[in-house]
Structure 1
């Protein structure tokens, strides 16, 4: 998870937004696929959307209401 603070001008009539957060996908940091990379089982790979655990990135929808 990464974050940044948007620029807010002193002459801007709106209140500052505050910190913004975003995540980057893991494949950006992998480069080339290394040999003998660990793999999910076929069933688990279909559930997670990728064959390799190194490329799996859990996404939680911030707009989905949490059950409580």
Structure 2
């Protein structure tokens, strides 16, 4: 299993734990940062997916693709070969 913190779209923080909190601490929490936050405008001539591939992946531009990884399963990989099926590792 790969380290999720090495993914540039994943951020982590440690929540504050007070001395009188009735619940146990949560530890490190992670969240995803969408790639469109770092692209101020859409440049002309960007590479595009084919229409079928864009519908499957949810975006027309590869730079805006953000794969979903479920926290319930260990890891999910999307095959980007044109036939495209999600495979669980």
State the TM-score, normalizing by the size of structure 1. Answer: 0.85
In the TM superposition, 1:28-67 aligns within 5 A as 28-64=37-73
Deviations 1:22-41 (A, max 9, x none): 11111111110011111011
How far is the alpha carbon of 1:43 from its aligned partner? 1.3
More relative contact order, 1 or 2 (CA 8 Å, 6+ apart): 1
> Equivalents in 1 of 2:56, 2:25: separation in Å?
40
> Equivalents in 2 of 1:53, 1:36: separation in Å?
12
Which blocks of at least 5 consecutive residues in structure 2 are unaligned?
A: 1-9, 76-87
What residue is the counterpart of 1:4 in the other structure?
Answer: 13
RMSD: 2.0
How far is the alpha carbon of 1:60 from its aligned partner? 1.2
State the TM-score, normalizing by the size of structure 2. Answer: 0.67
Structure 1 residue matching 2:30: 3-state secondary structure: strand
> Equivalents in 2 of 1:55, 1:65: separation in Å?
23
Q: Choose 1 or 2 for highest CA Rg.
A: 1
Deviations 1:6-53 (A, max 9, x none): 000122232211000011111111110011111011111111011000
> Equivalents in 2 of 1:39, 1:4: separation in Å?
34
> Equivalents in 1 of 2:43, 2:15: separation in Å?
37
